[in-house]
Copies of this chain bind each other. A is one copy, B any other.
Amino acid sequence: MNGSTLSVTEQGVTYPKGFRASGVASGIKRSLRPDLALLVSDREASAAGVFTTNRIRAAPVLLTEEILARQGGMSRGVVVVSGVANALTGPEGYADSARVIELAEQALGASHGSLLHAATGVIGPRIPLPAIERHIGAAVEALAPTREGGFRAASAILTTDTTTKEAAVAVKLADGTRVRVAGMAKGSGMIAPSLAPPHATTLAFLSTDAKVDSEDLQTVLNQEADRTFNMVSVDGDTSTNDTVLLFANGAAGGCSAGKDPAFVRAVGAVLEQLAKAVARDGEGATKMLTVHVAGAEDAAEARSAAKAIARSVLVKTALFGADPNVGRIACALGYSGARFDASRLRVDLREKGNRWPLIQNGTPVPGLDNGMGHRLHALLRRMDEVVLEVELGNGVADATAWGCDLSYGYVHINAHYRT
């Protein structure tokens, strides 16, 4: 089910047929960067969503879950606000978000219940409704089925992100139909997905022109989001606003794709690409970290072990310093909850085709304090993607987690910027 063999391009959410998107600046962000995004299907689409497990859930999360249930998993699209999370805002915040949806539906000429909603930004402040009222018309007018429309939407959902995150793939189904799956995401800090289905992380919006009923769509999203977005950790803080939505409008025709392995693989490939983009763009990150754990007793332990390393603050700072500190990796494995015999532990550093052993039979390779340590330090310094491969020697389950280093930049951003 690994989608990495598919050719993923950087097309955006307008790549599948029958989707339009836009992004405009409403003035919520003082920087006047775009902060109001729309993703709309020309026809009604099946929709599926996974949401944060945080007990404090932002108003847009509460509303979107309600609407999805009430509309039986059918939707026209989503209106996204960035700059304010609209979390911790009580009943007033809930009413604000309902009004944002209403304004978007009116401007679009769509019926009540057509649109979903997400937000990201500072927790606490309310959405400035006059800004939305003034600019929602422009956002609807700007809706375009073009690459540019998708890019503008991908730009308008960002906060501390330094780049847009888009991914797209086309696959041929068993019945010969060619379908497209695409997505956009944001996420840079407060990233530690905790999404037992139906729960998720960060913001990501996917579109596909495959024909899939909403029940199958939810099953595919649960499974693939759990394998991808749920395995990303930037800082270990699970947000109040995490939302992943997937819209399938059937514009490609053909038979139902809900159980087609090629479709599942395509959704997985887009989610994985976006999840990795979130890890790579972690606040202040200078290196991306991929941790692959094999030989675990079961999938849950493989996941725990991989995530423990990817989210360890000590591993992250060592990575920033290009320090081949194998003790911290072993330490994180030790408290991860995964069962293993320390004397069989193996950890390798992989760089393209090369493999550098770090721990063999439970002990660090010789020379980490001098010659070998210096070579690995030099190697780590020039890597911007570090891959660790762990073999627990206790079974056959495996898992992959993604993260990044923890730099002075991370401290700077989070000591002096409100998220």
Contact present for B240 and A331 (CB under 8 Å):
yes
Tell me whether A88 and B418 are in contact (CB under 8 A).
no
| Range for the number of chain A residues in contact with chain B | 35 or more
Verify A364–B124 contact, CB threshold 8 A: yes
Assembly CA distance A124 to B362 (angstroms): 10
Contact residues of A: prevailing secondary structure: loop
A100 in the interface (beta carbon within 8 A): no
* Chain B nearest CB, measured from A283 CB (Å): 10
Binary per-residue interface labels of chain A (159-198) against chain B in the complex, 1 for a CB within 8 Å, 0 otherwise: 0000000000000000000000000000001101010000
**Would A411 and B419 be within 8 Å (CB), given that A124-B326, A237-B331, A343-B90 are in contact?**
no
Contacting residues of chain A (87-105) with chain B, CB-CB under 8 angstroms: 87-90
Closest 6 CB pairs between A and B? A123-B327, A321-B415, A56-B334, A317-B414, A54-B334, A238-B335
Cα distance, A333 to B54, chains bound together (Å): 8
Which chain B residues lie closer than 8 Å to A418 at the CB level? 323, 325, 327
- CB-based contact A313/B237 at 8 Å: yes
Interface centre among A87, A192, A317, A340, by most chain B C-beta atoms within 10 angstroms, is: A317
Q: How far is the CA of A335 from the CA of B190 in the complex (A)?
A: 12
Give the contacting residue for A408; candidates B237, B323, B369, B408; CB below 8 A.
Answer: B408
A406 interface residue, CB < 8 Å from B? yes
Residue contact B317 to A56, C-beta cutoff 8 Å:
no
> By the criterion CB–CB under 8 Å, are A123 and B88 in contact?
no
Alpha-carbon distance between A57 and B334 when the two chains are bound, in angstroms? 8
Q: Mark A48-85, 1 if CB is under 8 A from B, else 0.
A: 00000111110000000000000000000000000001
